[in-house]
Structure formats: structure tokens, C-alpha cells
């Protein structure tokens, strides 16, 4: 789960991470009120969407205009810029071409930026540890830095038994070219960010940019936090920060039925049990020249209701022009799947070709249910056959 910048900053602040002062606003009037309370002389009006690259982004219909992060010098300008951003669609490198509608703003005091640095914390699967990454190349996408100038990134893996130690923070501070009292401030900053990361079960904490101000202070000018969904049950207060408007409506629906669903751009919907088989199914669809519309793992113990929900979910995506159901009945029984498929196909008045490949427990009964349903279901014998059939059926229907 992701949260907005202002929420991330507020959480980090509680742990002692230094952030500028600011306040959230939903209307231009609120933005002006926040700005007045902060006092000037410089404010920054920041679009709150769950995507980065806002500063360099552009609003839909106004490609020549200003971006989603604006530095202004009067209360009137705060209101004016807030009005230009709110309820408009911001397109950034991370939003994709459709962009995201800006519903909230963060009005922040303007910082006197001397240097822009990068600090990120994430779980590194290779070391099995929380890794702190830092770079002097702040403000840019870290992926680009990693690609073009990997030597400019320093990484420190933290032993969970000891936590962050002085030598870790010194290594990072020196790599960032910090000096004097900044080394101590950085140590406090990094230690606080690490504590937040662990306490809140984060997957990513990214501060980009981390700045050094003209006065030599260290501040988080931007903040992104992603939480480990599997640990959210331990953090009811964080769950409340969820902004469903920022999430994929299909994935919200899937989560309600405990389905593992990821929407993709293709036109062949897939319903599979098991993540590995689901990946293999997407691969083989591509091998036969098709494009999967989604990843969907219905899980091992799916019920008829869950299968029906999965089926409806796939069909609610208007890009779907064909469906491939690929089930290996191990724990899952093929007849249960077949019943779910038939019930769902009837309920939604199936209008696209459906190919079903069943194998495993009760496969004959499953096939019989499909055959006797009277629905135009194409039965397949193996994975390759199934993929070939669905790709062909979609092409023919087009």
C-alpha cells in the first residue's frame, strides 16, 4: 500500500525525521489558509498523487504549462496555483499517459536548497536485510542513476540484531559529502528513518531529494512510503491512510475476495490457480502471440463464490476479448472450478470466447459440467493447446 507525501512526512516526523512545515489542502481557500499559517516568504504547492516525477510532470490539456510542484511567493499565488492544479489530471513519468487527477495538495514552506541528495531504505532480497541506499544525485530517478552511474550509489545493509550503527551513518554521510555538524544530523535522520521503516513494516522509504539547506540543515523535501501489505493488519491506523481513489478499482475489488490480481494491458483475461502457473500461463499466451489482460491467482482453496468473483472481475475489464481458465486441481477440485465458471458465465452473459484447460482432481467431472452447461466453452488438453486456442479465438472474433 502507498500513501501520499504529506502522510509519509507526518509519519516520519513522529520518528524524528526532519521535514519542512506544511499542511494539506482540498480547496484553493484551504491552501491559502495553510499558507497564511505557515507565513512566507516562499511557499511550495505540491500535488498529492501516488506517483513521483510531479515536478517535471504536466497537466492534461496544458503540455506547455507548469508542473505539479510549484514554488510561489504570495498568498494569492498559492490560491491561484492551487486552483489550477486541483481536479485536473497530472501526467508524470510514473503515472502513464492517462495521468492522475489531483484531489489534494500539500502546501509547504519553501526551503533554501543548497544540495539535493538521495536516501532510500528498502528490503533487499539478496541480503535478506534492510538496505540503505544513498547518493549525491538527488532529485533524479534513482533507477537512472543506478543505470548510468552506479558508482554514485552507496549501499549499506543493516543487521537486524544491531540496527543502525554509527559506522553505517558515517559511511553514508561521508559518501554524501556531508561535513561538520551535518554528519551528526544525518546520523539522527537515518536512524529515525530506519526506526520508522522497521516499526511501520515498510517496504520502501524513499527521500528524494534529501536536502542540505543554506543554513546547513538536513531535511526530507520529498517522502515516499510503501508498506508491506502482509503486515498491514498490525497497523490499523496506517490502513486508514489508504486513498482508494489512487488505487486500481479492479485490484480493490480483487482484494475483497482475497484474489491475487494485477491488471495488465492486454486483451486475454487469465484465471489460474497458483502464482507460478499464472506466470507460466501469461508467458505461453505471449509465446502464441497474445497479450495477457491480467495476472490472476485464485489460490489453492478457492470456493465457487470466489471463482465467480474472479470471473466477473476479469470480464469487468473492457479490454478483455477472450478468457483462458487454466486450473490444475490439486487442493482445488476441477468440478468446483467448472461450477464457478458456468455460474459466472451465465450471470455475466459471457460475450467473449472462453477456453478452459482443466487437469487434476475430478477433471472428468469438471469437463462434464462444462460440456453439459450448453455454454460455448472451448476445452483444451494442455497449456500450449489452451494458449493457441484462446489467441486464435480472439483473433477470429475481432
Binding site for ATP: which residues?
A: 46, 53-55, 108, 111, 116
Based on the shown chain and the rule CB under 6 A, indicate whether residue 221 belongs to the binding site for ligand ADP.
yes
Q: Residue 302: phi, psi to the nearest 5?
A: -70, 145
Q: Does residue 82 have a cis bond before it (omega within 30 degrees)?
A: no
108, 222, 246, 388: residue in contact with Mg ion (rule CB under 5 A): 222
> Residues 150-189, buried b or exposed e (16+ Cβ, 10 A)?
eeebeebebeeeeebeeebbebbbebbebeeebbebbbeb
Q: Could you tell me which residues are annotated as the binding site?
A: 46, 53-55, 108, 111, 116, 208, 222, 273, 330-332
Of 5, 32, 206, 321, which one is the catalytic site residue? 206
Contact criterion met (CB below 8 Å) for 320 and 250? no
15 belongs to the catalytic site: no
First to last CA, the chain: 37
How far, in Å, CA of 179 to CA of 196, rounded?
Answer: 25
Q: Which is nearer to ligand ADP, 54 or 257 (CB)?
A: 54
Which H helix or E strand runs over 148? Answer: helix 142-148
Helices (H), 230-274: 236-239, 249-256
Q: Scanning residues 200 to 219, which ones bind Mg ion (CB under 5 A)?
A: 208
Minimum distance from CB of 112 to ligand ADP (Å)?
8
Interface map 106-135 toward ligand ADP (x if CB under 6 A): --x-xx-x--x-------------------
Q: Residue 67: phi, psi to the nearest 5?
A: -85, -160
Q: Could you tell me which residues are annotated as the binding site for substrate?
A: 273, 330-332
Minimum distance from CB of 208 to Mg ion (Å)?
4
Contact criterion met (CB below 8 Å) for 71 and 42? yes
Q: Which of ligand ADP, Mg ion, none does residue 17 bind to, with CB < 5 to 8 Å depending on kind?
A: none
How far, in Å, CA of 39 to CA of 299, rounded?
Answer: 54
Based on the shown chain and the rule CB under 5 A, indicate whether residue 47 belongs to the binding site for Mg ion.
no
Strand 22-25 to strand 69-72: parallel, antiparallel, or no bridges (unpaired)?
A: unpaired
Based on the shown chain and the rule CB under 6 A, indicate whether residue 44 belongs to the binding site for ligand ADP.
yes
How far, in Å, CA of 186 to CA of 243, rounded?
Answer: 31
261 belongs to the catalytic site: no
Interface map 61-100 toward ligand ADP (x if CB under 6 A): --------x-x-----------------------------
**Which residues make up the interface to ligand ADP (CB under 6 A)?**
20, 44, 46, 52-55, 69, 71, 108, 110-111, 113, 116, 139, 208-209, 221-222
**Which residues make up the interface to Mg ion (CB under 5 A)?**
208, 222
Amino acid at each position: 500500500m502507498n500513501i501520499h507525501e504529506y502522510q509519509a512526512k507526518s509519519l516520519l516526523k513522529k520518528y524524528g525525521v526532519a521535514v519542512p512545515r506544511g499542511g494539506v489542502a482540498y480547496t484553493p481557500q484551504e491552501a491559502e489558509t495553510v499558507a497564511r499559517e505557515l507565513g512566507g516568504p516562499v511557499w511550495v504547492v505540491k500535488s498529492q498523487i501516488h506517483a513521483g516525477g510531479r515536478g517535471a510532470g504536466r497537466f492534461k490539456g496544458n503540455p506547455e504549462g507548469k508542473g505539479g510542484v510549484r514554488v510561489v511567493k504570495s498568498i494569492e499565488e498559492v490560491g491561484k496555483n492551487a486552483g489550477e492544479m486541483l481536479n485536473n489530471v497530472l501526467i508524470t513519468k510514473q503515472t502513464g499517459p492517462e495521468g492522475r487527477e489531483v484531489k489534494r495538495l500539500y502546501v509547504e514552506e519553501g526551503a533554501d536548497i543548497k544540495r539535493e541528495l538521495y536516501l532510500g531504505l528498502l528490503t533487499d532480497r539478496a541480503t535478506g536485510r534492510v538496505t540503505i541506499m544513498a547518493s549525491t544525485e538527488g532529485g533524479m530517478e534513482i533507477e537512472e542513476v543506478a543505470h548510468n552511474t552506479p558508482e554514485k550509489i552507496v549501499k549499506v545493509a543493516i543487521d537486524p540484531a544491531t540496527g543502525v550503527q554509527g559506522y553505517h551513518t558515517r559511511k553514508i554521510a561521508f559518501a554524501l559529502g556531508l561535513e561538520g555538524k551535518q554528519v551528526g544530523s544525518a546520523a539522527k535522520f537515518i536512524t529515525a528513518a530506519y526506526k520508522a521503516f522497521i516499526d511501520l513494516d515498510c517496504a520502501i522509504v524513499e527521500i528524494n531529494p534529501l536536502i542540505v539547506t543554506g543554513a546547513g540543515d538536513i531535511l526530507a523535501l520529498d517522502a515516499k512510503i510503501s508498506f508491506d501489505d502482509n503486515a498491514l493488519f498490525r497497523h490499523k491506523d496506517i490502513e486508514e491512510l489508504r486513498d482508494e481513489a489512487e488505487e486500481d478499482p479492479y485490484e480493490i475489488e480483487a482484494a475483497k475476495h482475497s484474489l491475487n490480481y494485477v491488471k495488465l494491458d492486454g486483451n486475454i483475461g487469465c484465471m489460474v490457480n497458483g502464482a507460478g502457473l499464472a506466470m507460466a500461463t501469461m508467458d505461453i499466451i505471449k509465446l502464441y502471440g497474445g497479450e495477457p489482460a491480467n495476472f490472476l491467482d485464485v489460490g489453492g482453496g478457492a470456493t465457487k463464490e470466489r471463482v465467480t468473483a474472479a470471473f466477473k472481475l476479469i470480464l469487468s475489464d473492457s479490454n478483455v476479448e477472450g478468457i483462458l481458465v487454466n486450473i490444475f486441481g490439486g487442493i482445488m477440485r476441477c468440478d468446483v472450478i467448472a461450477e464457478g465458471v458456468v455460474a459466472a458465465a451465465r450471470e455475466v452473459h459471457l460475450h467473449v470466447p472462453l477456453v478452459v484447460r482443466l487437469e487434476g482432481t475430478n477433471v472428468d467431472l469438471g469437463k462434464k459440467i462444462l460440456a453439459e452447461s450448453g455454454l460455448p466453452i472451448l476445452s483444451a488438453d494442455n497449456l500450449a493447446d489452451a494458449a493457441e486456442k484462446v489467441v486464435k479465438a480472439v483473433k477470429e472474433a475481432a
